[in-house]
Amino acid sequence: MKDFAGKIAVITGGGTGMGRALARQLIAEGCDVAMCDVSARNMAQSVSVCQAEAPQGVRVTSFQCDVSDQAQMVAFADHVRDSFDTSHINLLFNNAGIGGGGSFLQESREQWEKTFNVCWGGVYNGARAFMPMLVAGSEGHIVNTSSINGLWASTGPQSSHTAYSSAKFAVRGFTEALITDLRINAPHVQASVVFPGHVGTSIMLNTDVAGETSAAGARTLLRMMGHPVDDMSDEQVLALAEATGESFRDNAPTTAEEAATIILDGVKAERWRILIGRDAHVLDEQVRLTPEEAYEPEFVARWIGAREEQA
């Protein structure tokens, strides 16, 4: 797929970040886009931006749903068929994700499974709902977003990161397995897995923890990141969570727009493995270089040092 003009793309998590950036860039190339997001407010903002930028004749549609819910994703697929009066799509970007569920030992099953079910279940449900429409077209491409935590299941020796990392490894393994599956059963459809490093998105600001109030959920996320929040008030925790999320979004070495460009260039180049950011490339190299030492305390310092050397 060397260009996207006249194609139909489906994007999950289109309300912010890389999802919105992918939509804008695809629309600019003449691609019809259908987006979904769990946040009606964020989705409305994306639709407004995309419609304002869309060339004449390019169509944009949206659907509010939770990607972890199979029935809602099937309803999204029905919406795409009806809105575009089509039996096929060409591109599927399983992009939606949240953070949370750091410790398998310390956090509740509900907290852990919410993160896993969105970050992995959303990819699975998206593939199940839309694969028949990808296969029905003359050419197709499924793009699943993993993470550097699909290369390295950690954020460092001082914090737990099990639900998100487990989900992102599942996304990686599923996509790699799809390469052969598609080659045998639908050779006109290709698959890519994306490994973003630190990209400027609103993932931390958009994340809620299952079964907890806003302050309790923020406390869980900050504790997962190693912040000493146990003695802080709810107001202090919420303020720190907002500041941390804004800093993550605004001070990232790679913008969402840059990440979207890398992904779309990777699709055009038919690359199945798409790493985003110097941090992702260096981490991949370091894990491959010393896999037995990847979870030792010294590994993080070695990774940071190698990243700075290559800067």
Exposure letters 276-285 (e unless 16+ CB within 10 A, then b): bbbbbbbbbe
Q: How many CB atoms lie within 10 A of CB 56?
A: 5
Tell me the β-bridge partners of 32: 8
**What span, in angstroms and rounded, lies between the C-alpha atoms of 122 and 70?**
8
DSSP three-state, residue 155: coil
Query: Longest C-alpha distance within the chain, in Å?
Result: 59
Helix (H) or strand (E) holding 276: strand 273-276
Residue 252 to residues 20, 42, 259, Cα–Cα distance (Å)? 17, 21, 11
* 191 contact partners, CB below 8 Å, separation of at least 6: 141, 142, 143, 144, 175, 178, 179, 182, 272
* Residues recognised as catalytic: 164
Exposure letters 1-17 (e unless 16+ CB within 10 A, then b): eeebeebbbbbbbbbbb
- Tokens, residue 250: 């605004």
Q: Where are the beta strands (DSSP E) in 28-139?
A: 32-37, 60-64, 91-94
Helix (H) or strand (E) holding 9: strand 8-12
Helix (H) or strand (E) holding 196: strand 189-196
